[in-house]
Structure 1
Amino acid sequence: MAIQHQVGRKIRAALLQLHSIAGLVLALLLSLIALTGVTMSFEDEIVDHLNAGIMQVVPRTTPALLPDELVSRLKAVPDAGKVAGITLSSNPSAAVHIRFARDEQGGRPSSLYVDPYDGRVLGVPRGEDFFAMVRRLHRWLLISGDARGWGRQITGIAALGLIAMLVSGLVLRWPRRASSVKMWLKPNLTLSGRGLHRSLHAVVGTWVLLVYLVMAITGLWYSFDWYKDSVVWLLARPHVAAVKMQLKQPRLSGRSEPAQPVWFDRAWSTLLREESGGFARVQLTLPAGPGTVMRIRSWPKDATLESERNEFRIDAVTGQLISAERYADKTLGEKAIASVLDIHRGAILGWPGKLAFMIAAALMPLFAITGVLLYASRRKLQRSAQPLHGRLVPGE
């Protein structure tokens, strides 16, 4: 019994060391990632509110312009840049959203809303550039290279560290009366100093543990390719996983393809035939490289989440349908893969879930501060408990 107790103390001491070191190293970084996540929690609602005046048009009896005609009319707009994608709506009152490709310096011109009936520019969406910067800070820490830089690996390491802290913290937190709800969820505000810090840290950690675990597990999806590939292999059907892996394969540099003009109209016509008008919104994205296969995302009219979309690959030159991936045909595991972002930010539970995840993320700085204070007070107690000769330096 004495040996088991001693082993248990050593394990707890090791877990405390792991928990403390990970917390000290990652406290500031995790707080930054959490607060930028808080900022983006209701991004869609904020952007829609800020741009209500340019996102709507007066419906007309004349037919809307085809995508290629809209693009050609943008040539008269100064510094418009090369069009990379178009978002169209089945709502006759909705404006068309035009996105542009990155320039030679790596910058991306601001997108535009245009009138679908005459191509008139309605304005640049307010808040878009701000949220794009916050997103780059959240995902890649504004490190050059964005998704191809070191930022995504650093945030991934932070997510792994958070998981280690959550697991070790739960073990260290486990009370003798584990069935007591009060013990788990109610902080002791009558305490002060180290006792109050410990109570707040432990109880707040209990409140947010599940949310932080979900955030960290889904956040790893955006940081490590090996993690993403493993999840796809585990949750998707074999033929679906094979297609996803095939789409990821880079083109062989030794085989150059002739440059071909790629436009929207043929792919748009194929999409209309496939969807039969059952969509609410469609996003057409031109291929980034020399290929001709266009990616098209289509959201059904009854979709309530960003992840509830159909995806098509259509050859923009021939109009041939290359592949169709419909959300309704996915298995539960494949729907989970498609919903990673909605799960990550709590949107899978509707606006109450987004609010809960936002509050949990906002608590990260409190969680970090109390952890640092506990470490500092513990070090102070350890130093004061040392014998005098243990505190002497050489020469004293």
Structure 2
Amino acid sequence: MAARPGHMIKTVLLQVHSIAGLVLALLLALIALTGAIMSFEDEIVDHLNAGILHVVPREMPALMPDELVARLGAGQNFGQVSAVMLSSDPTAAVRVRFARDEQGERPNSLYVDPYDARVLGAPRGEAFFATVRKLHRWLLIPGDAKGWGRQITGVAALGLIVMLVSGLVLRWPRRVRSVKMWLKPNLGLSGRGLHRSLHAVIGTWVLPVYLVMTLTGLWYSFDWYKDGVVWLLSRPEVSAAKMQPRMSAKASRAAARSESAQPIGFDLAWTTFRREEGDRFARALLTLPPEPGTAIRIRSWGKDSTLDTTRDEFRIDAVTGQVASAERYADKTFGEKIIANMLDIHRGAVLGWPGKLAFMIAAALMPLFSVTGILLYLSRRKLRRPAQPPLGRLVPGE
């Protein structure tokens, strides 16, 4: 009798699901566990460094950023400053970040007193989470975002999508409308039956979360995917601007020769920003241009902002003080806000701390599917193994 088409499709899907799972099990578990560790990074780091995040306010005005950087460098050589985080709160310390050194390593940032540039300390936990982040995104492969690790994690995400879709089809129950069939594991079973129940039912619980994680995680792995999302969700003029090709190395060197060799500072851009924004901002991150140029990027968070990604972004010329561009979060379309919030969607932060907790638990459950999937595969192979024929039957007396 010929096999039914539906049975053949499920047989093929089972093979695809099993092979993808066996190849990617350990890699997906590693990526998921490192993501779970970073779920409450901000809260953990703030708790560990509560003693250096704030200062006693004074009657005197806070130092301008260039003066603060100059005093900081006069004490000892911490490295080249690349960014400063300033706040409208008079009790908040200034966070100073440094550029990478010749070996490509970035020194720890420092918290500094905004009134006299006194070093309050380096944030505890920063180096640990930086390493976990590199492991999560790039598997600690040299080159970071420019190395092969970025593509490998992207391929793992694509593989997970294949497993999610095939797994959903494979476990589609006959009683589709039965909530119990979909969501209740049978803990009374043992061995292979228990492994299958846990793998299938808990997999159904976390399937929507994993889909969100993978679809947003691909944004950080593949430029073609990122460009496609920008084209789909942005206005045409915004999409065209974001997909402009980057400056080549040759053009960058030509630009460097044309630019003034005089180093640029933060003060003029900071003054322009304060004049434009007034007291509407809570904190602002001023970043020097990584490539030759004079435009300082300023990311600004409003006082009512609850997410790291709901921010405004300005580019202000450090020489003339002119605003080159102003990208306000409130002016974005719904699709552009999705793009802006990609990281917070990826980690569930758009749903508040319950969302972050749910995404953390889902990520921490990934090893369960790796273990139960491997056990199911081994038990299937054991069941398919043909029984050994008897060597012969002994007859009494022979």
TM-score, length-scaled by structure 1:
0.95
Deviations 1:104-153 (A, max 9, x none): 11111110000000110000100000000000000000000000000010
Matching of residue 102 in structure 1 with residue 100 in structure 2: yes
2:315 and 2:22 mapped to 1: Cα distance? 46
1:387 and 1:166 mapped to 2: Cα distance? 40
Matching of residue 19 in structure 1 with residue 21 in structure 2: no
1:319 and 1:246 mapped to 2: Cα distance? 25
Q: 2:80 is matched with which residue?
A: 82
Match of 1:273 among 259, 272, 275: 275
Q: 1:345 is matched with which residue?
A: 347
Q: Which runs of 5+ in 2 are unaligned?
A: 391-398
2:342 and 2:78 mapped to 1: Cα distance? 33
Q: Which amino acid aligns with 2:364?
A: A
Pick which of 364-373 and 258-267 moved more.
258-267
1:271 and 1:25 mapped to 2: Cα distance? 51
Q: Which amino acid aligns with 1:360?
A: A
Q: 1:174 is matched with which residue?
A: 172
Deviations 1:89-112 (A, max 9, x none): 111000000000000111111100
2:245 and 2:84 mapped to 1: Cα distance? 22
SS of the residue 2:114 aligns to: coil
Any conservation in 2 of the 1:139–1:152 contact (CA below 8 Å)? yes
Q: CA deviation at 1:211?
A: 0.2
Q: Which amino acid aligns with 1:270?
A: T
SS of the residue 2:4 aligns to: helix
Q: 1:328 is matched with which residue?
A: 330
2:252 and 2:344 mapped to 1: Cα distance? 36
Following superposition of structure 1 onto structure 2, how do residues 146-185 of structure 1 map, counting pairs within 5 Å? Answer: 146-185=144-183
1:254 and 1:147 mapped to 2: Cα distance? 22
2:389 and 2:7 mapped to 1: Cα distance? 23
SS of the residue 2:54 aligns to: coil
Deviations 1:260-306 (A, max 9, x none): 31110011111112212210010001011111111110001111111
Q: Which amino acid aligns with 2:316?
A: I
1:206 and 1:300 mapped to 2: Cα distance? 38
Alignment length, in residue pairs?
387
Mark the CA change 1:114 to 1:254 in structure 2 (over 3 Å): closer, same or farther. closer
Q: CA deviation at 1:57?
A: 0.1
2:102 and 2:319 mapped to 1: Cα distance? 26
Q: 1:296 is matched with which residue?
A: 298
SS of the residue 2:386 aligns to: helix
Matching of residue 136 in structure 1 with residue 134 in structure 2: yes
Q: 1:394 is matched with which residue?
A: none
Q: CA deviation at 1:76?
A: 2.5
1:169 and 1:385 mapped to 2: Cα distance? 30
Q: 2:373 is matched with which residue?
A: 371
1:227 and 1:53 mapped to 2: Cα distance? 42
TM-score, length-scaled by structure 2:
0.94
Q: 1:58 is matched with which residue?
A: 56
SS of the residue 1:255 aligns to: helix
1:147 and 1:221 mapped to 2: Cα distance? 12
Any conservation in 2 of the 1:50–1:127 contact (CA below 8 Å)? yes
CA RMSD of aligned residues (A): 1.6
Q: 1:218 is matched with which residue?
A: 216
Mark the CA change 1:384 to 1:152 in structure 2 (over 3 Å): closer, same or farther. same
